[in-house]
Structure 1
Amino acid sequence: MLTWIAAAWRGRLPLWLTYWVLGVGGNMSFVAVLLALLFFGRAAAWPWLWLVYGLSLVWFVFIFGAIWRAAGVYPGHRLWPILARLGVLVGIVRMTLEGVLLAGLAGAPP
């Protein structure tokens, strides 16, 4: 398991795999869990929500770095690494806005 993590972090996995499977797939997994906690959880779900959000931050720091590096060594058409890196930047903005939203919801009454 550590082998693919190290390979991803170093940009040695294919860009399509890093971006679509690990990046988008990982993102969708965390979003699904967060939405389930928000919509089906009760007030007691808030600690779990923050735990999942914290884990997603760790994952996204890792995957954003992996995508950035994989884009830097991509041998194909120049457009794909540019779009991948743009996706990383959009993801950073999204994660920031998501954190602000969650912080605002945490202050709302249950």
Structure 2
Amino acid sequence: MKENAPGAWLTLNASYFAAPVLNPLRLLDDAQTLIENAHGVVQVMRDALQLSPYVDNRALAHALKAVEILMEMSAGCAEVAHVRFVSIGDGWIDAYQSMDT
């Protein structure tokens, strides 16, 4: 994701690069963690908006952008996990069960 900041020459970048050898189940754990972080940002925003009658539109926009980025990263992570599950086939079940023993 690339976006030019308004009125600035800076470019904001956010990407999720999954390690090529990572277990797909760990990728799903990463996706869950990213979604939980997005949820945490939303909770902080909600609490702040309830406590203050004044809304800082710029801060609110930045917080919403952070939630968007975390959600995009989580979706990308889950997508990579899905691709790895498909490429492994049913072999991941055996590998996962051998990790438990």
Q: Which has the higher strand share?
A: 2
Structure 1 residue ranges (4+ consecutive) displaced by more than 4 angstroms after TM superposition? none
Match of 1:18 in 2: 30
Distance in 1, matches of 2:79 and 2:21, equals 8
Deviations 1:54-83 (A, max 9, x none): 11112211221111111222334xxxxxxx
Where does structure 1 lack aligned partners over 5 or more consecutive residues?
77-110
Q: Which amino acid aligns with 1:12?
A: L
> Aligned Cα RMSD in Å?
2.6
1:53 matched to 2:64: yes
> Structure 2: where are the runs of 5+ without partners?
1-15, 86-91, 94-101
1:11 Cα shift?
8.8
1:11 and 1:71, CA in 2 relative to 1: closer, same or farther beyond 3 A? Answer: farther
Percent of residue pairs identical: 14
Q: Distance in 2 between matches of 1:66 and 1:56?
A: 15
How far 1:34 moved relative to its partner? Answer: 1.9
Change (3 A) 1:11 1:65: farther
Partner of 1:65: 76
Q: Is the 8 A contact 2:34 2:70 kept in 1?
A: no
Considering only CA atoms, is the larger Rg found in Structure 1 or Structure 2? 2
Match of 2:45 among 15, 34, 45: 34
**In proportion to residue count, which structure has more helix?**
1
Normalising to structure 1: TM-score of the pair? Answer: 0.49
Residues 13-45 of structure 1 show CA distances to partners (whole Å, capped at 9, x for unaligned) of 51441232232x223212212212321233243
**Equivalent-residue separation in structure 1 for 2:21 and 2:61 (angstroms):** 29
- Residue of structure 2 equivalent to 1:6: 17
